[in-house]
């Protein structure tokens, strides 16, 4: 975990250093020109806000609010009231999902060789997913009296994706001759038969994320601080759309768990059970979309050069 965070910090520092160095060098040659003339800008922006996955109505997943943060460099071309831009950045997402109570069941033999419907009963399940994406935004907009509006789309390319699971579960058995499941509850203890009391489980892993195409809109106000530097403050909304289809897998993976009724143990279950990423599991009928709402701050450097001569505002 610490190694992953350090790698992320180093990438942020490297990107920010390269952007700032490029901005400073180019700003030395920049000149201020009238808005009626074409002009070029290099900028650095920081954005952050709330992120929510969106599931279908038939999904048992409950989506909770997470957060998103983004740092990026960009180039903009201005002509009259119009602007066009392209950028490169790093985005960090942290989303949370929970699943309503659910049960996984399998037919197997018990310790006496009798067929039993062996059930894993989840009373709570929560997943936190952390993602780092390379982002490439492309957009067009207008700027009238320092009020700007932008429409565009960005490509989100996953670099690192990690998820952490916190679950609470117990096991029980349902026999054809019994209406009531056999479970270790209260004074009843059937752990020797493989029916374990409610226990907390934790699990962490990484997986290869999937790319998004993310349309976005932004509006705000531009502050003209000097002849060479502008600042922006705005609000944005974005809607991330997955661009691949994935084959759904079971959420829980019991393949490594010892199911021999004579040798199974709770310790083995806790050690060997694993879970797949919730977004790729059969708990979602399709890959989830993601809605982002946040604020954005930007600084722009005018890097327009006209034949090496200063072009002053007329």
Instruction: Enumerate the domain spans of the chain.
Output: 2-302
Given a cut of 50, is residue 186 above it in pLDDT? yes
Using CB atoms within 10 Å of the CB of residue 163, give its burial: 0 to 12 exposed, 13 to 18 middle, 19+ buried: buried
Average pLDDT for 151-171: 95
What is the DSSP pairing of strand 61-79 with strand 39-54? Answer: antiparallel
pTM: 0.77
Residue 116: alpha-carbon gap to chain centroid = 40
DSSP states along 95-144: EEEEE-SEEEEEEEE-TTS-EEEEEEEEEEEEEEEEEEEEEEEEEEEEEE
pLDDT at residue 61, as a whole number: 85
Integer Cα distance of 35 and 142 in angstroms: 12
For the ranges 14-23, 168-177, 185-194, the lowest mean pLDDT is seen at 14-23
Integer Cα distance of 279 and 286 in angstroms: 8
For the ranges 22-26, 52-56, 190-194, 249-253, the lowest mean pLDDT is seen at 22-26
Given a cut of 90, is residue 245 above it in pLDDT? no
Given a cut of 50, is residue 11 above it in pLDDT? no
CA nearest neighbour of 147 among 75, 250, 73, 219: 219
Given a cut of 80, is residue 1 above it in pLDDT? no
pLDDT in tens, 263-303: 999 999 999 999 999 988 988 877 888 999 999 999 999 99
CA nearest neighbour of 68 among 296, 295, 292, 298: 292
- Token pair of 272 as six digits: 């060997």
Buried b (16+ CB within 10 A) or exposed e, 36-46: eeebbbbbbbe
Contact 172, 185 (CB under 8 A): no
Q: Is 257 helix (H, G, I), strand (E, B) or coil?
A: coil
DSSP states along 293-304: EEEEEEEEEE--
Given a cut of 50, is residue 47 above it in pLDDT? yes
pLDDT at residue 57, as a whole number: 62
H helix and E strand count, the chain: 2, 13
Contact 76, 118 (CB under 8 A): no
Query: What phi and psi values does residue 254 have, to the nearest 5 degrees?
Result: -105, 10
pLDDT in tens, 92-145: 999 999 998 899 999 999 888 899 999 999 999 999 999 999 999 999 999 998
């Amino acid at each position: 975990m610490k190694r992953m965070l350090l790698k992320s910090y180093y990438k942020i520092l490297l990107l920010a250093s390269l952007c700032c160095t490029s901005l400073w060098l180019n700003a030395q040659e920049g000149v201020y020109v009238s808005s009626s003339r074409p002009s070029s800008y290099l900028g650095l922006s920081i954005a952050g806000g709330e992120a929510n996955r969106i599931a279908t109505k038939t999904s048992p997943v409950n989506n909770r609010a997470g957060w998103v943060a983004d740092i990026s460099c960009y180039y903009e071309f201005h002509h009259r009231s119009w602007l066009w831009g392209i950028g490169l950045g790093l985005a960090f997402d942290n989303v949370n999902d929970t699943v309503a109570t659910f049960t996984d069941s399998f037919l197997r033999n018990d310790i006496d060789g009798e067929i039993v419907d062996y059930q894993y009963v989840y009373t709570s399940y929560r997943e936190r997913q952390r993602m780092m994406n390379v982002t490439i935004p492309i957009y067009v907009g207008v700027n009238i009296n320092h009020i700007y509006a932008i429409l565009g789309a960005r490509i989100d390319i996953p670099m690192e994706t990690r998820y952490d699971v916190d679950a609470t579960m117990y096991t029980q058995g349902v026999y054809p001759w019994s209406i009531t499941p056999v479970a270790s509850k209260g004074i009843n203890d059937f752990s020797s038969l493989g029916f374990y009391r409610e226990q907390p489980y934790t699990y962490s892993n990484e997986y290869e994320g999937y790319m998004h195409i993310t349309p976005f809109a932004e509006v705000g106000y531009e502050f003209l601080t000097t002849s060479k530097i502008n600042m922006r403050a705005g609000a944005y909304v974005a809607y991330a759309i997955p661009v691949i289809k994935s084959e759904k897998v079971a959420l829980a993976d019991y393949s490594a768990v010892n199911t021999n009724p004579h040798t199974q143990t709770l310790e083995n279950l806790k050690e060997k059970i694993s879970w797949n990423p919730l977004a790729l599991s059969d708990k979602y009928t399709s890959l989830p979309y993601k809605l982002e709402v946040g604020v954005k701050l930007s600084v722009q450097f005018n890097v327009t050069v006209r034949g090496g001569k200063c072009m002053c505002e007329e």
